Structure 1
Amino acid sequence: MTGAAPVARGYRRALWIVVLLNIGYGVVEAVGGFLAGSQSLKADALDFLGDGLISLVGLIALAWPLVWRARVAFGQGVFLGLLGATVLAATAYRVVVQQQPEADLMGVFGFLALLVNVAAALALMPYRKGGDAAAKAIWLFSRNDALANLAVVIAAGLVAWSGTPWPDLVVAVMIAALFLQSSWSIIRDARADIADAHGGEQLP
C-alpha cells in the first residue's frame, strides 16, 4: 500500500496536464478550423474539447467508488458517440456545400494538434495498462487523437496536391468513425465495471 499514493499523485498530475492541453488547444484549433475552412480541423477541435472535459470529469471522479467511476465512463462514451454523430452530420452538409479548405493553415494547426496529443499521450503512458473503464477511456482518447491528427496533416497535403476538399472531408468522416468506435469500447468496458461492482450481474 505504501507505493499507491505516489502513483495516484502522478496520475492526478498527468490528468491535469491532459485537461489543460486538450481544452487549451481545442479552443485554438476551433478558431483555426474556421479560419482554414477545414471540416477535419473543426472535428478535431471538438475532439480536443470533449477529451478535456472527459479528462476533467475523470479527475474529479478519482476518489469515487468503482460503480460511480464506471457510470461516469458510460456517460463519457455516450457523449463521445453524440460528438461522432454531430461530426458526421456536419460533414454530410459540407459534402453538399463544398468549400476548399486552406491547406497551409490546415497543415499547421494539424501538426500543432499532433504535438499536443503526443504530449498528452506521453503523460498518460505510464498509466495506460490496468485501471478501470474511465482510466482506459482517457488513455484511448489521447492515443487515438494523435493518430487522427497525423491523418489531418496528411489530408492537408492531399488537399494542396489535389486542389479538392475531398481529403479533408474523408478525414472528418474517419475522425467521426474513431469517435463512434471509441464510444462503443468505453461503454462496453463501463458496463463490465458496473456489472463487477454489482457482484458480476450482467446488465441488459
Structure 2
Amino acid sequence: MPCCSDETCSSNPAATGHYRTVLWSVLAINAAMFLIEIVAGLAAGSVALQADALDFFADAANYGISLFVLGMTLRWRATAALIKGSSMGAFGFWVVGNVIWHALHGTVPSWTTMGGVGIAALVANLICFGLLFAWRDGDANMRSVWICSRNDVIANLAVLAAALGVFGTGTGWPDIIVAGVMALLAIQGASVIVHQSLRELRGVDHSGPVAVSR
C-alpha cells in the first residue's frame, strides 16, 4: 500500500477499518502468547522465554495504543510511535539486566519447554507478521507495529536455536546469549522508531488544533 505518512491517508475509511481489524487480531494473539510464555518461561527457568513473553506483553500494549490513535492526526500517531519506541528500548535494557542476573547464577533452563513453546510462539508471530506486512512502509506508528512483529519472528528463531544449544551443551549460555541478542534487536528497533517519530513530529505544524479524522 502507499506510504501513509501524510495527514490524509489516515482518513481513508477502508484502509483504517481493515487495519483496525488486523490490530485487534494481533492484539489477541500477543496477549494469549504472553500468558503462555511467561508461565512456561518461569517454569523452565529460561531467560529467553521470559524475555520473549514480556515482548509479547509489550506488543499487545503497543497494538492497543495503535488502535487508540488510529484515524487521528499525524501528531498523535507520531507521539504514539515515540511512546512505543521508548517502551521497546526499556524492554531491551530490562533484558540486559536479566541476562546479567542469570549469567551470575548459572541457570540451566529446560530445553524441551523452550523448544515446544518456542515453536508455538514462532507460529503465532508468523501469523502476525503476515497480517501486518502490508503496512510495513506506513508512517512511524504503522511502521513501529510491523518492526515489532518482524523482530518477534527473528527472536523466536533465536529461542529455538537456544533450546538446541542448551540441549547440546548442557549449560544455560545459549539461553543467555539469545536473550542478549533479543535485547539488541529491541534497542535497535526502538532507535529506528524513535528517530522516525521525532522527524514526523518536527514536520507537523503545532500552531493549530489537533483534529481527529472521522
TM range (shorter): over 0.9
Query: Which residue matches 1:141?
Result: 148
Where structure 2 has 5 or more consecutive residues not aligned to the other structure, the ranges are: 1-8, 207-214
- The Cα offsets for residues 145-187 of structure 1, whole Å up to 9 and x where unpaired, read as 0011011001101110111110000000000111100111110
Root-mean-square deviation (CA, aligned residues, Å) is 1.4
Matched ranges for 1:58-137 at <5 A? 58-129=66-137, 131-137=138-144
1:32 deviation in Å?
A: 0.7
1:128 deviation in Å?
A: 1.9
Query: Which residue matches 2:6?
Result: none
The counterpart of 2:185, out of the listed 153, 167, 178, is 178
Query: Which residue matches 1:161?
Result: 168
State how far apart, in whole Å, the 2-side matches of 1:93 and 1:168 are.
Answer: 13
1:10 deviation in Å?
A: 1.1
The counterpart of 1:4, out of the listed 1, 7, 12, is 12
- The Cα offsets for residues 8-45 of structure 1, whole Å up to 9 and x where unpaired, read as 21111111111111111111100010111100000000
Where structure 1 has 5 or more consecutive residues not aligned to the other structure, the ranges are: 200-204
2:78–2:198 CA contact under 8 A, matched in 1:
yes
Q: How many pairs align?
A: 197
* Secondary structure of 2:171 counterpart: coil
For normalisation by structure 2, the TM-score amounts to 0.89
State how far apart, in whole Å, the 1-side matches of 2:163 and 2:70 are.
Answer: 39
Q: Match for 1:106: what amino acid?
A: M
Q: Match for 2:196: what amino acid?
A: D
1:188 deviation in Å?
A: 0.3
- The Cα offsets for residues 99-132 of structure 1, whole Å up to 9 and x where unpaired, read as 1100000111111110010000111112222x21
State how far apart, in whole Å, the 1-side matches of 2:26 and 2:200 are.
Answer: 24
**Larger mean Cα displacement after TM superposition, 3-12 or 120-129:** 3-12
1:4 deviation in Å?
A: 3.1
State how far apart, in whole Å, the 1-side matches of 2:19 and 2:136 are.
Answer: 10
2:151–2:186 CA contact under 8 A, matched in 1:
no
State how far apart, in whole Å, the 2-side matches of 1:42 and 1:149 are.
Answer: 12
Query: Which residue matches 2:59?
Result: 51
Moved over 6 A (4+): none
Higher helix proportion, which one? Answer: 1
The counterpart of 1:150, out of the listed 143, 157, 163, is 157
State how far apart, in whole Å, the 1-side matches of 2:100 and 2:173 are.
Answer: 12
State how far apart, in whole Å, the 1-side matches of 2:31 and 2:86 are.
Answer: 19
Query: Which residue matches 2:199?
Result: 192
